[in-house]
Structures are given as C-alpha cells and as structure tokens.
A and B are shown apart, each in its own frame.
Chain A
Amino acid sequence: MANNVTLTPQQIIRKKAQGEPIYPDETVHENRHIIAVLVENTIGALNRVINLFSARGFNLESVAVGETDDPSVSRMTIVTTGDDRIIAQVNRQLERLVDVLESVDLTEHEYVERELCLLKVNYTSDNRSELMDTLEIFRGKVVDVTAETMTFELTGPTKKLNAFIGMMRAHDIVEIARSGRVAMRRSLQFGD
C-alpha cells in the first residue's frame, strides 16, 4: 500500500498479471532487525519467546536477556533477519504472547547498541606489541595474561566488534565469546 513497502512474491505476480510496473526498490530483500521486548520475569516466559522463533521457523540471530529496575520485568533484546513480511509477523506474534508486556522494533528509530566480546589469542614476543597496538586502537582492555595467551575484552557496537575480530583473524585465536546485542532507543534532544 505505502510506496516504500516491498512486495510479496504473490503481489509481484498479481502486478504482472494486471500489467503494472514493478520498481527496483519494491523487490523483496532481507533486513536485520533488532527488537527490544519486555517480558514478565516468570519461569517459562523466556522459554515461550524462544519457542516462538523455533516453532514458526523465524531466524533468531542473537538473544540477550537481563533484569530491569522492576524485579517483575525482564528485558530481552532479539536480533532477527528476514524480509518485511516475516519481520511484521515476528513483531505481531511477539505482541500476541500473554507474557510479553511490550515489544518495540528499534530498527526504524535511532538507537544505541552495544555488544561485549572476550577474545583469547596465543601470542609470541614478535606479535605481542602488534596485538597490544590493535587493542589500543579499538580501545579494548586486557583482562587475562599468561606466558602464551592473552584475553582481550572489547565493548562496542557490533560493527566495531566485527572489525576487531577481523583484524585478530590474522593471529592465532584460541577462543571467542560474544554476548548478544543490547539496544536502547535514543532520547533525541538535538536534530541534524
């Protein structure tokens, strides 16, 4: 209906049958969406949300759950991928659950997102300074060190973490542990 909504395959066929033109930005493509969900802090509420994704075949990239200031409410941050129709279904099915108090798709809004990464590398005296320099460029911290390995901690937007891990791939990575993404809407005070 609106001009910036992508079309479903069925709509494309219908448009072709009626001889209407199809614009390039209307063809289906997949997006990554990040959804913040407030759920009741009861046993089984988290389970129900995860089950929703597996039962309906939605793509679940990452989940991060934690408490909020209200002890009866938990906050989940879910990252999922799909085309517009699937994302609309994900949002509506989440809101349909009785345990879900509120569900906000943050992707359309301005938001802050952070992710944490712990990365353990093997080092030698040759590449030690190179590793430390890279770490300082990314403003990370060393949290563990032994004679052969170092463990780095890095927090930041997912793009920054991906870049850092990409840089580290040139070296001997032992282990990576990433938490899920956590996101929150920005309270905009200033414009452009």
Chain B
Amino acid sequence: MYPFFRSALVACGIPPATDAARLGSPSNAESNSMRVPDMKSEDDAKTDAMPETTGDGMSEVQASVRATLRMSGAEIFLRSLEAEGVEIVFGHPGGAVIKVYDEMARINPKFEHILVRHEQGGTHAAEGYAKATGKVGTVLVTSGPGATNTVTGIADAYLDSVPIVVFTGQVPTALIGNDAFQECDTIGITRSITKHSFLVRDVRDMAKTVKQAYHIARTGRPGPVVVDLPKDVLLAETEFEYPDEIDLRGYTPPRVSEDRPIRRAAEMIAAAQKPLLYVGGGTVNSDASEFLTAIARKARIPVTTTLHGLGAFPEDDELSLGMLGMHGTWCANMAVQNADLIIAVGARFDDRVTGKLDSWAPHAKIIHIDIDPSCISKNVYVDCAIVGDVRNVLERLVKLVDECGTNDWLRQIKAWRDECPLSFEGTDGRLRAQYVIQKIREKTQGDAVVITDVGQHQMWTAQYFQFLHPRSHITSGGLGTMGFCLPAAMGAAFGLRGTGKTIVSISGDGGFVMNAQELSVCAAHKLPIKVVVINNNFLGMVRQWQELFHDNRFSHTDLKSTNPDFVKLAEAHHCVGLRATKPEEVAGVLDEAWKINDRPVLMDFQVIKEEMVFPMVPAGASTGEMITKRLTPNAFV
C-alpha cells in the first residue's frame, strides 16, 4: 500500500518529500505545472516498476508526467510570440540570436519572419506595420551593432507613439560588462527613448516578459519597448507556460475618465461662439474617427488636424480646414489665432504646431482630451482636462453636444480660405512636386495609403493630398527621420496584404537613398508598392531655410553629384523604374506604374529645385506671422 501511495503523489504533481528537498528553490515549489524530477534515484526506479501492479490508468498518467516538455529559451520565446498573436516579425540574424533562428527553422512557427537588409529598415517596417494596421510591430535583431542600428527607429517610435517591441540579442549574462564581442549596453542606450525595457536574466521569466512587453507597448499611450535576450538565457531550458494575466503593479494606464470633466466640456462647447477642433494622432491610434466626425458635424465645429491626425476627419468636408502649424494652411492658423475655444483631441501641442507659445491662441480656452496624463498642461495651460481613451470620451461627449451658433464663424473661416488658398505656378511648363502629388491624388481618388519621408515633399503631401480615411497617412513626424519612407511602406504593405489597398510611398531623393536597400526585399515578396521619388537633386527643406534665413548660402545641400540614377537603382533591385521630366509625361508614367502588380515600381519625377513650401511660420515666430509667398518672386527662375 505504501509504494502505491507514493506513486499516486507523483502522478498528482506533488513530489515525494525527498525529491522536494533536492529540487530546493522556491519557484519550483510555487509553479503549477507538473514537475519531472530530473535526477534518477531509487524512488524513480520504484515508480518505473509500478505500472504492472497499479493498473492502466495510472501508467498513462505517469507517462504524461514524464513527457512534460522542457524547451530552450529560444523556443519559449517563439511560442510566446505565437501565443501573443504576432503575425509578422522583421529581423536580421546574428551570433547572439542564432539559437532563435535555429528553433525557427525547426518548429516553423505560425508567424512570418521577414529578413530585412538593415536593422533600421526593419524597425521602420515594424512602425509602418503598426501604423497601418493598429497592431504591435515586432523586430528581432542581434546584439551590438544590430541593436544600435535600431536606435533611430526606436526614437522615432517613441516620439510618434507607435507600438513596437524590439527584441535584441545580448552576450551571455556572465560576459555582460566585460566589453565582449558585439556587446553594447542596449538597455542603457535606449533608456530615454523607450516606454520601458526589460533584460531577461532568467529563462523562467521569458514568457512573462514577452507578455508584459506587448501589454506595455499597446496600452495607454503606445510606445516602443525593448527586450534584451542574453544568449545563455536563450539556450537554457525550462517548461513553457504562457501566463493568462499581466502582473505589473506599477503600470495602470487610465482608460475611462470621470463624467464631470466631460459634462463641463460639453457646457464650454455650448457657450462658445468660435470653437475649433484640433485633432492629433491620438484620435487615429484610438480609432475614434467616426465619433469625431459625428461631433464635428452635429455641433458644426470646424476641424483642423496635425500631421498625424490627417485622415481622422475627411478633408473634402466643408468643415475641414486642413493641417495647422508651421506649414499649415492660412485659414487653419488664422482660425487658431482667433478661436475662443480649442478642443484638443489626442494632440500634444507640439512646437511645430504652436510656434511661439506666448502668442499662440491668445483668445482661446482649451479643452484637452488625451490618454497620457503627463501630456496635460505640459506646454500650454488647459482649462478643462479629460484624461482617458479618446474613443471612449468622444463616444460619451457626442451625446451631450448640440449645434452651437457657429454660422458667422464658419463664414469668417471661408473668407480666410478664399483669401489665401494653397496654390502653385502651373503654367510655365516645368514639373513641380505639387503637380505630381495632385495627379496621384486624382489617380487614387484619396483611397490609397500614403507613406512619406521627411522634407518639402512631406509638407506638400500633407497640404495637397486631401486624406479621407484614418490610417491612410503614415509619416515620421516627431523625430523627422529621413529614410523612414521605403521601409515603412514595406511594413504597411505586409500589414495590408490581401485588402486590395494601394500603397504609395512618396519620398525625396535625399531620404530615399538612406534605406534603398529594402527595395529588393519588397521585390522578393512581390509587394506592389508605388515608390514615388520627388527628385530635385537638393535637400529641399534645408535649402528653403538657407534661402529664407541664411542669405542663400547653400552649404552642402546640393545632391546632384552624389545622387544615383534612380531608374537603374530600381532595376538593380529587381523592380521596375520609370522617369518623368515634364508635366505632360506624369499621367502616362502613373498609368504604366499602376498596371504593374507583382513588384515595386519606382517613379523618378525630376522636379525643379526652386519651389518653396508656403505658408510657413518661421521657427520661434508667432503663428500669426506667416510667410505666404516668396519676397522676390523671380529669383532663380
């Protein structure tokens, strides 16, 4: 009877007393999963001998106890990603993560791994994927240079609130701090540009850390999370159990705000004569576009958006004022300076929007709806702060607002719009970027997903494209990273595969070259991206500043001698290359490009270099001091 009782204990997962003493450490005793004692002993020999005398049911249970899998940390990592629902990982292998790639080849996980050619490209691809789909982007790189190459992308995600998780390899824990091969202090380097970071020191924490990383990245105000994986942790073995619940006691993102501030906001809106909605990227992140449109139309409040908010409110509506800020439209900036109530929805009062803070919106009371409490009253004092998820707040607010008497205000805004509309010279037969963008807009009818790089073309796209849907405009706003466009377009294309959406990537000649290596990755995966290169052989935006503020001293902004032949570059990367140098050729090039659907098409539009982005609020100047046209119109013609 006594040996039967001991084997029954083993079958229930309670180790006999002697084995428990040998197993020792407290976490073993706490864990719920069945434990297989890994040291052979006479007790094991006894349980092995048991099956004959105790019957078939008991032997099956004992067999399952012994069959509990111990996996390597790398396999646990991959299975955690599967359990988290990850669909795509952008990565580049290396020595520190070679075990992960080995396990990937062996177990063939449910997600797809895309091999990128530069880790910065991989990080921007994860950002493009996250912005286009609303899911969390994933990056997997090796230690040392692999990790440092992702720093630019992580900083970009931090400033633009994009949810990505970057898994970096690390040297074995015993070698950390020893200046080992390909070692760098990834957590230290990325400390100020991540929402949070983890260094996994024990393989038993691996699954929990992956779950926590994704939770932190996607909840509250989204942001990048770095997880450092030392090589010996990836090689060590333990059981895999994906936790059901998150256990982060220091992190409770606010979700639902109280009723009182929302009622107060509704009262302020009812009392306002000249209200204005200032819409930012938080509205898009929160999928609040339908409620925003409902509020704007119900209460007849004009809407102006930031660079990231473009598309949250359809720009062909009569209430839409376009973008505001440094390169915003005349009527949007004038509306801000004359409004008596500004409702900021998911925006952060960036310095590109406000210009000189002292004189920004001098007559307006401000309502601020944001999920991040540290954003409230950071730059601009707000009269009514509502901390919570934007979609949830707008859903409750739309029931409380009514039409306010804004007819005079709307008439005034229309007068401003007619006073200084966006325009460019179109009759002298030379090709301009604005014309190209308008032609693309006609071709796509506003139904494409447009990804832009950084510079003059970015501002012209924001002004002229007229976005209609949220998540149709992806750009690098806060950090302004050149080279963002092509890899982000690749990520967006992966995320929107099968939806039939056209992906248009618009970049300048300066930024395109920085991450052009990802073209062959796009070609290999047959992504039909329309790659538009606005080629003026200059660093256009810097050139504009040099012309306006530095007496035309064009110091190192001429790219003519260092630009490649873009058509040949596209063909070298197995894509199609087309070129247009005159306005008449543009429509033909676009038609030909839209016919190709199995690989990227690069269109090199050679535009004139002397164009400037207007209106412009000079840096540090008040928003009311806009420059609307060149002071000496015939310069450089």
Contacts and interface: CB of A to CB of B under 8 A. Distances in A.
Nearest to A84: B377
B358 interface: yes
A17 to B, nearest CB: 5
Contact of B196 (A14, A43, A98, A101): A98
Contacts of B250: 39-40, 97-101
Interface string A36-53: 000110011001100100
B356 to A, nearest CB: 10
A27 to B, nearest CB: 14
B25 interface: no
A10 B360 CA distance: 9
B151 to A, nearest CB: 15
Nearest to A101: B250
A55 B195 CA distance: 14
Contact of A44 (B199, B251, B374): B199
Interface string A1-32: 10000011111011001100000000000000
Contact of B374 (A1, A10, A92): A92
B199 A89 contact: no
A95 interface: yes
Contacts of B197: 44
B187 interface: yes
Contacts of A88: 377
Contacts of A39: 250
Contacts of B260: none
A93 interface: yes
Contacts of A13: 358-359, 362
B16 interface: no
Q: What's the dominant secondary structure at chain A's contact region?
A: helix
B174 to A, nearest CB: 15
B373 interface: yes
B248 interface: yes
A15 B383 CA distance: 13
A138 to B, nearest CB: 40
B420 to A, nearest CB: 25
B191 interface: yes
A48 B196 CA distance: 9
Interface in B352-403: 357-360, 362-363, 372-374, 376-378, 380-381, 383
Given A96-B374, A98-B196, A98-B251, A10 B188 contact: no
A132 B199 CA distance: 52
A17 B372 contact: no
Nearest to B354: A10
A43 B188 CA distance: 11
Given A17-B362, A40-B250, A8 B381 contact: yes
Interface residues of B, number: 28
A104 to B, nearest CB: 14
B362 A14 contact: yes
B192 interface: yes
B251 to A, nearest CB: 5
B106 interface: no
Contacts of A141: none
A142 B510 CA distance: 70
- Of B360, B373, B383, most buried by chain A (CB within 10 Å of CB) is B373
Contacts of B380: 10
Contact of B373 (A14, A92, A97): A92
Contacts of B40: none
B448 interface: no
B192 A44 contact: no
Contacts of B381: 7-8, 10-11, 85
B576 interface: no
Contacts of A43: 199
A interface bracket (residues with beta carbon within 8 Å of B): 20 to 34
B171 interface: no
Contact of A10 (B249, B358, B376): B358
A184 B188 CA distance: 31
Interface string B215-253: 010000000000000000000000000000000111100
Given A17-B363, A47-B191, A98-B248, A85 B377 contact: yes
B373 A96 contact: yes
A38 B372 CA distance: 21
Contacts of B251: 98
Nearest to A48: B191
A101 B249 contact: yes
Interface in A24-81: 39-40, 43-44, 47-48, 51, 55
Contacts of B363: 14, 17-18
Given A10-B358, A11-B381, A98-B250, A55 B373 contact: no
Nearest to B221: A96
A96 B216 CA distance: 12
Contacts of B357: 10
B26 to A, nearest CB: 13
Nearest to A14: B362
A20 to B, nearest CB: 12
B339 to A, nearest CB: 13
Interface in A100-137: 100-101
B383 A1 contact: yes
- Of A9, A93, A98, A100, most buried by chain B (CB within 10 Å of CB) is A98
A40 B198 CA distance: 13
A55 B377 CA distance: 19
A44 B187 contact: yes
Contacts of B249: 101
B383 A93 contact: no
Contact of B195 (A8, A89, A98): A98
A93 B191 contact: no
B374 A51 contact: no
B411 to A, nearest CB: 24
A18 B365 CA distance: 12
A55 B188 CA distance: 13
A134 to B, nearest CB: 45
A98 B381 CA distance: 26
Closest 9 CB pairs of A and B: A92-B374, A98-B196, A55-B192, A98-B251, A101-B250, A96-B374, A17-B362, A93-B374, A8-B381
8 contacts: A7-B381, A8-B381, A17-B363, A39-B250, A44-B197, A44-B199, A92-B374, A98-B195
Given A11-B381, A43-B199, 17 more contacts: A9-B358, A10-B360, A13-B358, A13-B362, A17-B363, A39-B250, A40-B250, A85-B377, A88-B377, A95-B374, A96-B372, A96-B373, A97-B196, A98-B248, A98-B250, A100-B250, A101-B250
Interface of B: 187-188, 191-192, 195-197, 199, 216, 248-251, 357-360, 362-363, 372-374, 376-378, 380-381, 383
Interface of A: 1, 7-11, 13-14, 17-18, 39-40, 43-44, 47-48, 51, 55, 85, 88-89, 92-93, 95-101
